[in-house]
Amino acid sequence: MYNGIGSSLSDIFRLSDAQSRSISPENLTGEKAGGATLEVEDGTAAHAARDLGKGWKVNPFMRIPEESTMVIADIEGPGCIQSIWMTPSRSWRNLILRIYWDGEKEPSVECPIGDFFACGWDQYAQVNSIPICVNPGSALNSYWQMPFRKRCKITIENRNSKYNVIYYQINYCLTDIPDDAAYFHAQFRRVNPQPYKEVFTILDGVKGKGHYVGTYMCWGCNNTGWWGEGEIKFYIDEDEEYPTICGTGLEDYFGGSYNFESPKTGTYEEYSTPYMGMPQVIRPDNAYKSQLRFGLYRWHLPDPIRFEKELKVTIQALGWRSEGRYLPLQDDISSVAIWYQTLPHGEFPELPDKDYLEII
């Protein structure tokens, strides 16, 4: 019997014994027949629903207190997270999403919410890809499939000095998980400025068997001129000095070419496609917004990078200087690496504090 995970047009007609469930502020536990049961006076929308009563739109959102962490899902497995929708208020860089699998003490996902949903500059940009969609006015959607065997816990840390309002829906199924199913991981890194003549590390310290499936990057220019000559490199298993996979340039890796320039205008042109895109270009405003900033994604869905024991991913920061020479850049660079692997995972680097992550 089909287990109901990851349905597509090719298998949507197949029957399954999977049980559909959903967690939202209207059903905090996802239990069967547990939705819309809150009394009016206990809901976050009590005032708006005062004339209608229980069963109406009584508790559509939650408030996460300032400088605190809220558990938004705690699910007993086996099962699979199938989609996540949310729209939080205030600074997305100060909201940290963490996901824990099967009772582990350390998260397998640790990332600012905006960056996880490919909007890392604290500004909305429409994203139209297969695993991530960002829609008007600030609707964040993930379709990454996230299987687990024993337990899934999802938390959001609010680092803001004021409470945050968040609407969310976590859709999942309870079903048997295949023996060869790996666990979803996502790790955030940020360096500002990038040290001169050093490469930026997207991911390191991965231990286990798995496959790399995606990169999101925020790139903030601290120089004038072109900034995307650097190569991405995948060091697989026993690779040391030299990688097994080596790209030919940043814009090449993200599916573009020739500086992402529009042939018609000669300026940067945003694009968003199923597997790769540059949906965000933040341009200077001749006043206080002085730097060019870019958001880019590359999802390895048709072409995952597979590893048996370990993986390291780096990218160079290169532009041009005089006499046709490469210029090692000192830019503001952030990344989210996304991969699946067996448990336990390697140790994550410590997430920097609020001030270091701030977008200025």
What CATH number is given to the structural domain containing 169?
Answer: 2.60.120.1390
pLDDT band at 257 (very low <50, low <70, confident <90, very high): very high
Q: Who wins on pLDDT, 217 or 10?
A: 217
96 domain residue, yes or no? yes
Residues 6+ apart with CB under 8 A from 351: 96, 110, 188, 357
Shared domain for 133 and 157, answered yes or no, is yes
Say yes or no to pLDDT of 348 above 90: yes
Domain boundary among 179, 210, 235: 179
In the sheet that holds 310-315, the strands lie side by side as: 200-207, 310-315, 232-236, 245-246
Confidence class for position 3, pLDDT limits 50, 70, 90: confident
Residue 61 CB neighbour total at 10 angstroms: 17
In a domain, 49, yes or no: no
Amino acid at 177: I
Tell me: pLDDT of 86 over 90: yes
Contacts of 134 (CB under 8 A, 6+ apart): 117, 118, 119, 124, 125, 126, 127, 140, 141, 279
Q: Mean per-residue pLDDT for 252-268?
A: 95
Whether the bond between 78 and the residue before it is cis, its omega within 30 degrees of 0, is: yes
The predicted structure's pLDDT at residue 173: 98
pLDDT tens, residue by residue, 271-312: 999 999 999 999 999 899 899 999 999 999 999 999 999 999
Look at residue 10 in the predicted model and tell me its pLDDT: 85
For residue 2, what is the DSSP state? B
Q: For a pLDDT cut of 70, what percent of the chain falls above it?
A: 100
My answer on whether 169 and 242 are in the same domain is no
- Let me know whether 335 and 189 are in one domain: yes
Rounded CA-CA distance 204/98 in Å is 19
What is the four-CA torsion angle of 292, 297, 298, 299, rounded to 10 degrees?
A: 180
| Interval 203-227 mean pLDDT | 97
The answer to whether residue 53 sits within a structural domain is no
The model carries a pTM of 0.96
Residue 56 lies in a domain: no
Name the burial class of residue 76, with classes exposed (0-12), middle (13-18) and buried (19+) by CB atoms within 10 angstroms of its CB.
exposed
Do residue 174 and residue 190 come from a single domain? Answer: no
Residue 44 within a domain: no
State the average pLDDT over residues 348-353.
96
pLDDT for 263: 92
In a domain, 263, yes or no: yes
Q: Has residue 260 got a pLDDT over 70?
A: yes
- Domain residues for 162? 7-25+61-179
Rounded to whole angstroms, how far apart are CA atoms 10 and 3? 14
pLDDT at 7: 77
CB 278 within 8 A of CB 270: yes
Same domain, 65 and 170: yes
Would you place residue 1 in the very low, low, confident or very high pLDDT band (cuts 50, 70, 90)?
low
CA distances from residue 12 to 28, 84, 156 in whole angstroms, order as listed: 28, 20, 32
pLDDT digits (tens, 9 = 90+) for 143-189: 999 999 999 999 999 999 999 999 999 999 999 999 999 999 999 99
The answer to whether residue 203 is domain-embedded is yes
Check whether residue 138 and residue 286 sit in a common domain. no
Are residue 221 and residue 235 in the same domain, yes or no? yes
* Distance, CA of 352 to CA of 340 (rounded, Å): 24
Query: Would you state the pLDDT for residue 90?
Result: 80
Task: Tell whether 88 and 214 lie within a shared domain.
Answer: no
Q: Which of 133, 153, 179 is the last residue of a domain?
A: 179
Total domains, the chain: 2
Q: Residue 38: inside a domain, yes or no?
A: no
Q: Are residues 245 and 140 in the same domain?
A: no
Q: Are residues 273 and 189 in the same domain?
A: yes
The last residue of a domain, from among 162, 179, 196: 179
Please provide the average confidence, as pLDDT, over all residues in the chain.
96
Residues 224 and 343 in one domain: yes
312 and 209 in a common domain: yes
